[in-house]
Amino acid sequence: MLVRSPLVSAVPASRLRRWGASAACLAIVLTAASAHSSGSEPLSWFGRGGPTPAARQAVALLSDAAAEGLEARDYGVKELQESLENAGGASELSEYRIARLDAALTAALRRYLVDLRFGRVDPHRLGEKYTSASGSDFDPDLLLQSAVAEDRLAETLRNAAPRSAQYDSLRQALASYRRLVGHPAWQQELPPLPAGKLTPGQVYAGTSRLAERLSLLGDLPAETAVPPRYEGKLVDGIKSFQERHGMAPDGVIGRETFEQLKVTPEVRVEQLELALERLRWMPLLPAGRIVVVNVPEFMLRGYLVGDGRIEPGPAMRVIVGNARRTRTPLFDAQMRAIEFSPYWNVPPSITRGETLPRLRRDPGYFDRQGFELVDSEGRVISGLPEGGLDALERGQVRIRQRPGAANALGDIKFVFPNGDNIYFHHTSSPQLFKRDRRDFSHGCIRVEAPAELAQFVLGDEREWPRERIVQAMRKGRSMTVRLTETIPVRIAYDTAAVRNGRVHFFPDIYGRDRVLRDALRQRSISIRADASPAMAIGLKAAN
């Protein structure tokens, strides 16, 4: 009979996830302990005749963890495979060893299920303030029990992973790039560029190597004849490559394009693995609208979720926080309102660091920018009175900018309350959207097409057609519209994504890939160190 281990079952998935590094070892210990202390048993994978067919299937599935961007070694696959070989050749196994083998395989599968469902690292540990995916309806022990009993283990593991087209596309891209790891095309370096860059029509000694890489990456049709110069389809291939790597597709191979061409498939595999991990942090999406900003991509996208499908909505360029000084935080929240022709309440940090020094040098800047002071009672002080700057420095008054052409927020603001006081808004400097790299803000996110975003957000509000939205933006009088239903907003950070069937890579502008990569490596090291003694006892004990 298949019985869940009560001690392990009593541990909520969310808590097991927070334990992180020691979870695999702890699960082994708890499962084995429960089998002896309570009289119940873990799943039966081994008998006196050796491993069951389900055990062999389970180990095979764990061995393929890399297909999900996971580390097979985190689940003790090597030791489990050895146990299959050793147990399969034995005529008789002791009850003690059978219990240990059952416990070890159950714990490995349990950890794998939890990793697929929630991810391996809690984003809060990395300073990313996402709402934790609920584990109240996710019982890995019950899932494993029913999966083995009904002979659908592979299906159960597959369903534990995020069920989205993006996740499936990333898995396929990961498999494609894994096939390129160690390929001879990256074993020899590309020849240096003539005069530091290569423009169409120039002679280049590396056209053959360049064409080979582009063909393997899918940017150049296979069997394309290599031209004697850098021209024709080879230029088109570079334009495709540039577009997929967040660069202007001008066909000129400059320093940035050349450096991206040098990046090996091993590095891209890691980026794809990190993107899969981040998708596992996302809770199941509720039906309705959702807005997602991908910071390294400098893009905002809206989605409509319903009937088991995710339909694309508006997509637009954004400007995010400066990478050196004022990075945009990563979090999720609920959009609750839109402010047309908003006031800009200057944040204290900007007041102290920028506005006050500027006003002390140039008091006329106050009127030119449409500033006004507001006291603690909410009374507005027009003009800059004597002693006003000292009062502002002491915090006795605050400064805000009136609606108008010079307003830093532009003519619209999208409000989703959060602890970092971040919001979407338009800008009085729209020319910055033409830049390829767009990290110019103090942390808030400027949107290129605010009327289009407002129309998407207000899609269920019949009294707000596009014409009225534009009128409200131009009116110059502040007005707040509260949404009848809140809309989830997610500030994400993915340096790899699949767009329209093609994999794209973006620069790690905030160094977040490095942080996540280091956390995952440390977790794996800790798991293996903690689990080794338990594995040695459980899998290699003598009869």
Q: Tell me the catalytic residues.
A: 425, 444
| Residues 6 or more apart in contact with residue 17 via CB below 8 angstroms | 23, 114, 118, 119, 122, 135
- Within 10 Å of residue 164's Cβ, how many Cβ atoms? 14
Encoded amino acid at 331, one letter: F
The three-point CA angle 19-25-27 to 5° equals 75
Tell me the backbone φ, ψ of residue 514, rounded to 5 degrees: -65, -40
Indicate the SS3 state at residue 456. helix
Adjacent-strand bridge partners of 488: 334
Helices (DSSP H) in 66-94: which residue ranges? 77-88
Q: Which position has the token pair 């950070």? A: 493
Q: Which position has the token pair 């003519």? A: 411
User: What gap in Å lies between CA 438 and CA 296, rounded to an integer?
Assistant: 9
Adjacent-strand bridge partners of 398: 374
CB contact burial 91-101 (16+ within 10 A = b; e otherwise): eebeeebbbbb
Paired tokens of 490:
């997610």
User: What gap in Å lies between CA 241 and CA 384, rounded to an integer?
Assistant: 54
- Within 10 Å of residue 386's Cβ, how many Cβ atoms? 6
Report which of 231, 199, 234, 195 is spatially closest to residue 214, judged by C-alpha positions: 234
Report which of 232, 234, 187 is spatially closest to residue 208, judged by C-alpha positions: 234
Encoded amino acid at 534, one letter: A
CA-to-CA dists, residue 408 to 32, 270, 365, 386, angstroms:
62, 39, 14, 25
User: What gap in Å lies between CA 469 and CA 333, rounded to an integer?
Assistant: 23
